[in-house]
Chain A
């Protein structure tokens, strides 16, 4: 059986992704800087999560302020499966992700049906309620003392490649969700639900699908984050700051674009390393200012900025259809 490339997959994009992944995959063999190695691992997890947030916030246009709920659910379910039932790590990750995705459907399915900002507001409540339940549900989350995960020899080092794989999968899915016919349907839903339904796009099913994928990917990110630190604690996993971070990576990088959030995540991780070290009291406010400035002056964030620069340099190249913004 011969594999046929769907028409929306551009060979250039596939090769680009493969080259970047190959370079990153052999990178650690060339240097032995543990700090950079670990920073990159966290960045990969951050990239996967930022992209997953963007599927919902950017493609569907439903901004979530509570994705940390799924991050925590994925993390704790996976940790418990490893600890209590002795699941292998990868299977525990995937199971955690699936359960996080199902969890997001429980509250997301009813609220996504409604027009307007109901979903976004509900996410604030979900995030807060999940955090509280997580903090006090000792049996499941270990309460405020958290859970310690099994440590294998060299696990932290090898997690680099797992995280890279996760980021690559998320990137490929971002591309597929935008460029395939599903992506076109999502664009239609985002601009006008009624018109989309009139031409036979099932808004309900697609929104649920994206919500599930987004929640599941965030859940897997939570699980890998837990394995990386080999210790998880509800206040950190379910924290509001965590939910905010994905809003910021998405908006700074370019909400609704394919690769923008990945760029946003890279910048966010670097910025945080620097800011937390230098101005621990200011970083939330700086993010707020950044958010306001981006929305006011460049709603597509860095991607929009790059497109503007590109357009100025080569006005003959019509840069269209990348962002799909109104």
Chain B
């Protein structure tokens, strides 16, 4: 009750600050989650290597920055490279597994193994120490609605929104996008109308992987990371996917915002132990699974 009064007694400016923080964080979460949701929606496989790819993206951005490339410039090469990494992962490994219920456990375990390998590679290359990606503008801030807001965080948000808009256009307006959505709904019928389903699967896996790597790179400009980075990101992505339903861009965005609010607002409570923030996503996941197993917005398949 004491805490409650303090929360209610928050100054308006503090609330504005919390809202801005939540919205900016939500952009990153949405990008992160969309990759996972896309693969899950189309291939019905939970990409447990998602967290590993997020971590790999963070290190790729960090490494390129050490070579003198601005992290926002390296978005494109990292995105393209991880797209091909995803295609290779699909063609080389996932493709060989049985589909359907029997393949569920196997694909989980296989991709989990891949995650362990990625983690170990990062550990060997860059040691287990925390790294940070600091740019010249990391500490710059502008005033927005009376609050100081980091330029970098706004840039991350802008990139995330841009990516979501591009994805939305891709999925709704282009032939490939429509094919991806069709395969998500019914792969068998797609073969009948001449869609090369396997090619769509490769493409989707590549896209999902690229999104994860980009999210990792963006995240690296905000948070410190190490080879273990990505496990809580995987969980958060999954929370957003479950909350927002599969593949709906708007649903994903709203779900990401809900998660961000649930994480950011408790930090305003005096005496709230910060380590509990990590548990917020999980509690949300269980609540949603119990109360609305179909997601907040019902089941929708991509679009």
Minimum distance in angstroms from B193 CB to a CB of chain A: 27
A90 at the interface (CB under 8 A from B): no
A126→B282 CA distance, assembly (Å): 7
Cross-chain contact of B116 among A116, A135, A192, A291 (Cβ < 8 A) = A291
B172 at the interface (CB under 8 A from A): no
B234 at the interface (CB under 8 A from A): yes
Given contacts A107-B286, A111-B289, contact A65 B104 (CB under 8 A): no
Given contacts A110-B290, A129-B278, contact A63 B120 (CB under 8 A): no
A8→B73 CA distance, assembly (Å): 66
Say yes or no: B115 contacts A136, CB within 8 Å.
no
Residues of A within 8 A of B290 (CB): 110
Say yes or no: B285 contacts A122, CB within 8 Å.
yes
Minimum distance in angstroms from A114 CB to a CB of chain B: 6
List B residues 234-267 near A (Cβ within 8 Å): 234-235, 238, 242
Chain B contact residue count (CB 8 A cutoff): 45
A16 at the interface (CB under 8 A from B): no
Say yes or no: A284 contacts B119, CB within 8 Å.
yes
Residues of A within 8 A of B276 (CB): 132-133
Given contacts A136-B273, A285-B117, A289-B117, contact A295 B282 (CB under 8 A): no
Say yes or no: A128 contacts B231, CB within 8 Å.
yes
Say yes or no: A288 contacts B231, CB within 8 Å.
no
Say yes or no: B113 contacts A125, CB within 8 Å.
no
List A residues 151-202 near B (Cβ within 8 Å): 191-192
Say yes or no: A118 contacts B289, CB within 8 Å.
yes
Minimum distance in angstroms from A125 CB to a CB of chain B: 4
A103→B281 CA distance, assembly (Å): 19
A122→B113 CA distance, assembly (Å): 18
A61→B101 CA distance, assembly (Å): 10
Residues of A within 8 A of B93 (CB): 292, 296
A125→B287 CA distance, assembly (Å): 13
Say yes or no: A136 contacts B102, CB within 8 Å.
no
Say yes or no: A289 contacts B113, CB within 8 Å.
yes
List B residues 34-68 near A (Cβ within 8 Å): 44, 46
Say yes or no: A117 contacts B289, CB within 8 Å.
no
Cross-chain contact of A120 among B108, B124, B286 (Cβ < 8 A) = B108
Residues of B within 8 A of A305 (CB): none
Say yes or no: A121 contacts B109, CB within 8 Å.
no
**Residue in A closest to B282 when the chains form the complex, CB atoms:** A125
Minimum distance in angstroms from A295 CB to a CB of chain B: 4
Minimum distance in angstroms from A135 CB to a CB of chain B: 7
Given contacts A121-B238, A122-B289, contact A65 B112 (CB under 8 A): yes
Say yes or no: B113 contacts A117, CB within 8 Å.
no
List A residues 63-98 near B (Cβ within 8 Å): 63, 65
A278 at the interface (CB under 8 A from B): no
A136→B279 CA distance, assembly (Å): 13
Given A63-B105, A136-B275, 15 more A-B residue pairs with CB atoms under 8 Å apart are A65-B112, A114-B293, A116-B44, A121-B46, A121-B234, A122-B285, A128-B278, A135-B275, A240-B231, A255-B105, A281-B124, A284-B123, A288-B113, A288-B120, A292-B110
Top 4 nearest A-B pairs by Cβ distance?
A285-B120, A288-B116, A291-B113, A125-B282
30 A-B pairs with CB atoms under 8 Å apart are A57-B105, A63-B105, A114-B289, A118-B242, A120-B46, A121-B234, A121-B238, A122-B282, A122-B286, A124-B231, A124-B234, A125-B235, A125-B282, A128-B278, A129-B279, A129-B282, A132-B278, A133-B275, A191-B101, A282-B120, A282-B124, A284-B119, A284-B123, A288-B117, A288-B120, A289-B117, A291-B116, A292-B113, A295-B97, A296-B96
